[in-house]
Structure 1
Amino acid sequence: MPLPQGELLGSEEVQQNVSTRFEQACMELKAKGERQRAEKALKEQEEQRAAAREEARRPAKERLEYMKNSDDVFTADMYKRQSNQDEEDRDAVLDDDDELDALRLARINKMKKQKAQMQENLAKGHGVYDEVFEENFLKTVLASKFCVAHFFHEDFERCKIMDKHLKLLATNHVEARFFKINAEKALFFVEKLEIRTLPTVVFFQDGKAIDKLLGFNGLPNGDEFSTRDLEERIGITGCIKMERGFYEERADDAPKKVVSTITRGKVSRTEDFEDPFDD
């Protein structure tokens, strides 16, 4: 008697499911076999490389062993020198570590000194741009290694322009003391430093006037010069720290200067250099 139609369809569905699962199992088995073969091939390659490396090292090992056990004085001496070289190589690695530690320590100490110097400079008034009066001028110039002094007149517009730029530079270059002094109220120093033009910026190092900026001479674009332009001009004097290279080249072309030495109570001049400020 024939099976009902529903039972026949169910039987075909079961057969299809079995066939599908069988195909999947075959594919998984095939993939597993391929992975195993690939892993085996990779392992064999690694073993071959290791054997090759060992083979390459073997002659050196055998040579050293022969040299070690040789009765020949020259050969034994060669082995001793080779052993000493190996020891020196190991010591060199340790020395490199010691050198790095020393460099690291030196850098830390340098940073500590720079921080201490910055704190000392800030205590002396560095980092701000203020007015210094005649009675405090010597004290201010002698207190700091580098000073930038602006001789100004209250009514001169160009002096106000110079003030604006120097104020910005003072906050960025605490290595120098920036200040201004009223030329009308400091006639003694105006005379001794031969201030003939306003504004005039005088640059000091260790109490010596090493350079002058007369008006805006040497600055580009006249009254429209930038703070960077003035910064570069001051950088030539060495009063502020700038990028190496550019200022060293510019400094070679800078004019020679009369050096005015300020001591307590007097100003003396040395005529060792051509004076570019005299007419």
Structure 2
Amino acid sequence: MEMRAEETKTKRGNDVAFAQQVIKTMEQVVDDKIEELDSLNNLELERLRDERIKTMKDAAARTKELLSKGHGGYDDVEEKLFFKVSTDSDKVVAHFYAGNLPLCDIFHMYLGDIAKSHLETRFIRVNAEKSPFLVSRLNINHFPSIVVIIDGVTADRVIGYSDLSEKDQFTRESLEWRLSLRGGIKYDGDYDPTSAFKRNRTKIQKIYKKKTIRETEDSSSDDD
């Protein structure tokens, strides 16, 4: 009996030792796994951090490049420099104005303000009276007129306020929204088009026949 009791005691001791060893081994495995996961997480965080830093640096470099090209401003451009300016940037909004027309002054005010918040696009203004060649080449017949140029081709036109409001009391936001329709700028607002604009929606959203801005545009370009 004593021998059996001793054997039982020994067996229990062995079982406990085995269990303790298993637990210890499992704990070690868990610890190793946690360390591995921590290592992976740290590597992942480091990778995300590096990507974030690169993105920020790229964005800063891009902003610096755009500013060096005049983005963020709203400057007069002479006729002889127009083609260079309009092809140096991916997107250009060019306002052709004449004299001291009150409506042109309103466009100046709004476009200058919009330019500050849309660095992705270069905003310029062209004095039509001093640019007869451009006015003829681009068939500018009414003032103010805005020509949107994307990748060197005419993508859109805004003539006066007819596309913006029934009256000349249109808003900055309506002009901003209008410029975004064919990709002139990025617009994330919630502007609700006026009834006048809705009537012109089909005409406005038609795809203009794309020509390089150096090519002569016939009058059909305005209606296609």
**SS of 1:242 mapped into structure 2:** coil
Q: Which residue of 1 aligns with 2:69?
A: 124
Q: In the aligned structure 1, how far is the partner of 2:83 from the partner of 2:221? A: 24
Pair 91,178 (structure 1): closer, same or farther in 2 beyond 3 Å: same
Contact 2:138/2:216 (<8 A) preserved: no
Identity %: 33
Q: Which residue of 2 aligns with 1:198?
A: 143
* Residue number among 237, 250, 254 corresponding to 2:205 in the alignment: 254
Unmatched segments (≥5 aa) in structure 2? 1-17, 192-200
| Aligned partner letter, 1:257 | Y
Deviation at 1:257, TM superposition (A): 2.1
TM-score of the superposed pair, with normalisation by structure 1: 0.58
Q: Which residue of 2 aligns with 1:207?
A: 152
**SS of 1:181 mapped into structure 2:** strand
Deviation at 1:90, TM superposition (A): 5.5
Pair 169,92 (structure 1): closer, same or farther in 2 beyond 3 Å: same
* Residue number among 170, 181, 184 corresponding to 1:236 in the alignment: 181
Tell me whether 162-171 or 192-201 shows the greater mean CA deviation: 192-201
Contact 1:151/1:198 (<8 A) preserved: yes
The structure richer in helix per residue is 1
Identify the structure with bigger relative contact order (alpha carbons < 8 Å, sequence gap 6+): 2
Q: Which residue of 1 aligns with 2:109?
A: 164
- RMSD over aligned CA atoms reads 3.4
| Aligned partner letter, 1:123 | S
| Aligned partner letter, 1:156 | L
Q: How many residues align?
A: 191
Unmatched segments (≥5 aa) in structure 1? 1-60, 69-78, 270-274
Q: Which residue of 1 aligns with 2:215?
A: 267
Q: Which residue of 2 aligns with 1:138?
A: 83
TM-score of the superposed pair, with normalisation by structure 2: 0.70
Q: Deviations over 1:106-149 (max 9, x none)?
A: 12111111211222222222222121111111111112121110
Alignment of 1:1-279 (within 5 A): 65=22, 91-220=36-165, 222-243=167-188, 254-262=205-213, 266-267=214-215, 277-278=222-223
Q: In the aligned structure 2, how far is the partner of 1:186 from the partner of 1:202? A: 14
